[in-house]
Structure 1
Amino acid sequence: MSKQITTEVPMLLLRHPIRERLAYGLHWLATLHEKHFNGILADEMGLGKTIMTIALLAHLAVQKEVWGPHLVVVPTSLLMNWVKELQKWAPGLKVCAYYGTVKERRDKRRGWGGEDAFHVCVASYAVVLQDLRPLKMKRWHYLILDEAQNIKNCRSQKWQQLMRFRSERRLLLTGTPLQNNLTELWSLLHFLMPDMFQSYSDFKEFFADPLHLAMHEQRVKQDLVMRLHKVIRPFMLRRLKSEVERQLPQKHEHLVPCRLSRRQQVLYEEFMKRRQTQLILKKGDYLKMMSKLR
């Protein structure tokens, strides 16, 4: 374990040992919280952002006696995965899977006023926008947004509504690299720290000229990138698989041949005998061939 990592793995997670890259991510998140900053966990997909976030919540509960409540907003397709991962990695945390019909969600909100009703609420972006009033009334410790590119547009209803939620801390998760788009970058930074990144016009003015000249001068472009990195670096952790490949489990590939059924074989042979197919093959236009096969 690296000497740079001083944050202990919380007792809630000891049933499942975590790798060094995850321990470092936990340490970075815990340090960010300790310094009263919000941040962006932007590791490449597959490096365990979900587990690191769960580890942070477990750390807060064990080391800081902060049990929430926390609100995790995710795409609908990831909701049950988050619930399962929370139950697996931190079974000591009470999880509210906030979904269902209007009546079912209303029933789930009964007793929300109690301090120990639940520790983590997981909801989709769609449901959050439908139940804005009750969710805004509650004060959350952490507001965590998965797939944070959903709020890269500060003019969208999603960004504007989530911006009004009451929370002590905010954390954005994204596996998508931040593009050289000042509006999108400011939208994320202002969402995290509105007091620090107040004015878009000031933010734009700081970078506008270099951005315009970057198209023509390589040196200016490099200066711009360095300037952007200085602004973002304290609040963002991004690592690529290539940087931590030694800590990743070995990859195994299994090739499973799948033969065509008798009917598929007949259809394939008929297709290949067509005159149009033969012409495409002679021209070498494989893109058109693939579109035909689809």
Structure 2
Amino acid sequence: MVSGAPRTAHAWARARLEAAGVEDAAFDAACLMELVAGKNWRWMDGELTAEQKRRLEQLTEKRAQRYPLQYLAGHWPFLDFELEVGPGVLIPRADTELLCETGAELLAGKTGPQVLDLCAGSGCVGLGIKRLVPAAQVTCLEKSPEAFVYLTRNAAGALPGFDAERPAVQPVAGDVFTYQNQLAPESLDLVLSNPPYVTGDEMKELEPELRFEPEMALEAAHEGLAFYEHIAPGYLAALRQGGWLAVEIGWEQGAAVRGIFEAAGYRNVAVRQDLAGKDRVVLGQKT
């Protein structure tokens, strides 16, 4: 049972999560304490209420079953804002911030650039570009009805100054494998995507938390390359001369995706590494 003292309660949650194999149990336990008792739980006077103790036990047990912490929280930080997340949408990760930062660099000097975010999920990439390049006009394409709910909410509420009447980005329900047919030639300055890229074999080895995330947002055919094989040639016509395509990749896919870009006719193709020094983004230009 959970003790009423906040620090003792945190120690109990940490021990339970450590026993369940949660990698950063102390951090996760602190996040659960925030959900239960607020951000200042370390400096609380007195003890947790009976309801707070009950809720902490419930959340800790679910996290011990390796249910994602982000889903329990219902929101998660990305760049300098927060996104609503939950079952049915891929959890935003810090690695993906590099894709946004790369996109912002590629738009430098452009006035009112037109941007398309494919496989948008929560909208983290499209909203990240809007945050970094406020003048950008961003469309976010997502196929999954479950993820589209979060995309719509985040478009209306993740960035300051926007709401349902004036969303920060334009959510569009559609399929990346056909949406290019709806685009006018040479209408975009930048196409971005963090598509599914996990192979079937890799899916079997993923950490337990990923079992709860949508498989359709993770796994791709053709050794994880199916989306790149379509996007690179399929969206080339929609890019203006000088426009760019940039995608997130799995850390072992740099050479393969670079080859796909070059075969599709892109120039100035490059691979960028994340903070861990692993290949993470491939970019190429239409010239």
**Alignment TM class, shorter chain as reference:** 0.3 to 0.5
The answer to which structure has the higher strand fraction is 2
Q: TM-score, normalised by structure 1?
A: 0.36
Higher relative contact order (CA 8 A, sep 6+): 1
Q: TM-score, normalised by structure 2?
A: 0.36
The answer to which structure has the higher helix fraction is 1
